[in-house]
Amino acid sequence: MKVSVIGAGNVGAKAVYYIAEKNIADIVMVDVVDGLAGSKAMDFLHAAPLRGYEVRIRGTTDFGEIEGSDVVVITAGIARKPGMDRMDLLKTNVGIAAQAAREIAFRAPNAVVIVVTNPLDVISMVVLRETGFALRKVVGMAGVLDSTRFRWFIAEKLGVWPGDVQAMVLGGHGDEMVPLTRYTSVGGIPLDQLLDAPGIEALVKRTRTGGVEIVSLLKTGSAFYAPGASVAKMVEAVIKDERRLFPASAYLRGEYGFRDIYLGVPVVMGRNGVERIVELPLTDGERKSLNDSAEAVRKGLAELSTVMGEKA
């Protein structure tokens, strides 16, 4: 099997490392910066005797190397910098993602594409349009990351093993995400049996700002360990046809009452990408929160139309 990662920055490189450690596929890293992907690939290979992975890893500037990939991950793009507004970020990353998508369509037409570049839900729509792939073949990585942050905050608060915590976070990848506390449990015990309402709400708020918390500490960048691990988990589900149930950004055609939009929902991930979308019954409050999240994504799509109109 073959996985290609477009973008050899922090998130892309960590994703490659975690995928390599699973020994499930050969990996190609592509980056436009000369020597960046090649140097990191060589460094990874030097660690192979110590870490025990046997897969081939190649770094290059040549998109031709992604030919025949089973999965392609798009992490390429810029992070939002001081003084940069949403439209500046969108204009730059739309161009980067669109170029990557066209290369994927030409060189890896059977691949499942996992989008990581922000603004994620909007960029996923760009990749879908530019590749012309089936809807299930293009999926955004956000819910796995948001959920694992929620899981960690809960485990930290309760003093339990994080692996015993199960959580589900829906909606767009931003401040309007919707952690579903009713569907969150610790060792099978509902969260509300272990924490009071104010305690749960505090964890929900921290989850929504988890990425910002890291940026404020790091000052010159954003998270990459947890995003890289989240990418690797999704790649593994596809390569091994695991049919794992994850929250991920999927194209909706009426599910949850939304149409023609990418939004974080529970999906079953397997060899074909999004094998199916799982619809959960929601309370009125949960549905309102999901509507608010979808509205934020729609605002991004309206901005996308403006950007694409300028490029026309």
Full domain range(s) for residue 223: 143-303
297, 252 in Cβ contact below 8 A? no
Asked if 7 and 97 sit in the same domain, the reply is: yes
| Domain end marker among 109, 140, 171 | 140
Question: What is d(CA 82, CA 86) in angstroms, rounded to the nearest whole number?
Answer: 11
CATH code, domain carrying 127: 3.40.50.720
Give the phi and the psi of residue 122 in degrees, each rounded to 5.
-75, -45
Residue 245 in 3-state DSSP?
strand
Is there a domain that residue 264 lies in? yes
Asked if 229 and 107 sit in the same domain, the reply is: no
Alpha-carbon Rg for the chain in angstroms = 19
Asked if 147 and 289 sit in the same domain, the reply is: yes
Residue 235: closest CA among 262, 271, 267, 278 = 271
Q: What is the pLDDT of residue 303?
A: 86
Q: What is the pLDDT of residue 86?
A: 64
Asked if 159 and 276 sit in the same domain, the reply is: yes
Asked if 105 and 245 sit in the same domain, the reply is: no
Question: Which are the catalytic amino acids?
Answer: 173
Number of compact structural domains in the chain = 2
Sorted by sequence, the CB contacts under 8 Å of residue 82 that are 6+ apart come out as none
Question: Six-digit token pair at 83?
Answer: 């003084």
Question: Six-digit token pair at 300?
Answer: 């991004």
Is there a domain that residue 309 lies in? no
What strand order describes the sheet that includes 2-6?
57-60, 26-30, 2-6, 71-74, 112-115, 138-140, 244-253, 259-270, 273-277
Model confidence over 203-250: pLDDT tens digits?
999 999 898 888 889 888 889 999 999 999 999 999 999 999 999 999
Asked if 268 and 299 sit in the same domain, the reply is: yes
Is there a domain that residue 232 lies in? yes
Question: What is d(CA 14, CA 67) in angstroms, rounded to the nearest whole number?
Answer: 22
- 312 residues of the chain, pLDDT tens digit each: 999 999 999 999 999 999 999 999 999 999 999 999 999 999 999 999 999 999 999 999 999 999 999 999 999 998 766 566 666 778 889 999 999 999 999 999 999 999 999 889 999 999 999 999 999 999 999 899 999 999 999 999 999 999 999 999 999 887 889 999 999 999 999 999 999 999 999 999 999 989 888 888 988 888 999 999 999 999 999 999 999 999 999 999 999 999 999 999 999 999 999 999 999 999 999 999 999 999 999 998 998 888 776 554
On the 0-12 / 13-18 / 19+ scale of CB atoms within 10 A, 164 is middle
Helix (H) and strand (E) counts for the chain?
9, 14
Question: What is d(CA 190, CA 3) in angstroms, rounded to the nearest whole number?
Answer: 37
71, 3 in Cβ contact below 8 A? yes
Q: What is the pLDDT of residue 295?
A: 93
Angle at 23 between CA 19 and CA 29, to 5 degrees: 45
Which own/partner pairs from 98-101 qualify as long-range (CB within 8 Å, at least 24 positions apart)? 98/126, 98/127, 98/130, 100/6, 100/74, 100/76, 100/127, 101/74, 101/126, 101/127, 101/129, 101/130, 101/131
Q: What is the pLDDT of residue 90?
A: 82
Under DSSP, the state recorded for 133 is -
What kind and span of H or E run contains 119? none
Asked if 150 and 126 sit in the same domain, the reply is: no
CATH code, domain carrying 220: 3.90.110.10
Asked if 168 and 106 sit in the same domain, the reply is: no
Asked if 295 and 151 sit in the same domain, the reply is: yes
Q: What is the pTM of this model?
A: 0.94
Q: What is the pLDDT of residue 212?
A: 86
Q: What is the pLDDT of residue 312?
A: 45
Tell me how far apart the terminal alpha carbons of the chain are, to the nearest angstrom.
Answer: 37
